[in-house]
Structure 1
Amino acid sequence: MAQYSAQLDGVFVALADPTRRWVIRRLGHGPTSVGDLARELPMTLPSFMKHVRTLESNGLIHTTKSGRVRTCVLNRERLAVVDDWLAEQRRIWEERTDRLERLVTDEQENQQ
């Protein structure tokens, strides 16, 4: 559980920044070179590389280098960590709202 939590924390930290979320959305359309990604953003390449390293260190993307071109590829499986967490939260809140609905319904029936 602690390892899962650390993985989840890292993914959320990586996704907390709008630039990194943009990169994830962009890579959802397919692999793209770092240079092409950086050209679309109003920042220097060294600044952009910090975002790439954050995404890569948290497993959301991986990069490969061929000659002088570094290509970024989205790791869709890593996003499953977030999906699993959200599904668990959804289940918890659905159970709570179901209990609340039963409580209100029972209360209304008792008053009638």
Structure 2
Amino acid sequence: MKKMISLMIILTLLSVPTLVFADNHQKKITPDQQQELNELRRQIFELKKQMIEKHVEFGIIDRKEADNWLKKIEKSHKRFKDVGYIPCKERMKNKGHPEHDIMTTP
């Protein structure tokens, strides 16, 4: 369990630079880089599904709530897959509130 949590934290930290610095309108990545991103995102997706299943197993959430969460992460995973796992700046904004826009530079 500790190993799974550690892996999840590492994967999240590794994805932050990609999320912060990627700009799909200007940046091009190599096929090898694309494959690496694909694999990391797939691993994150699988770990999130495992975490949700563990929450059900431990009685933290019920099956209906887990199914709702699974639908949301599957939708998010599909959206990232459709854009080549490179996030768009517009999706990074917090509903148009510039003070919460992590893409804004000081």
TM-score normalised according to structure 2 size: 0.34
TM-score normalised according to structure 1 size: 0.32
Q: Which has the larger radius of gyration?
A: 1
Q: Which has the higher strand share?
A: 1
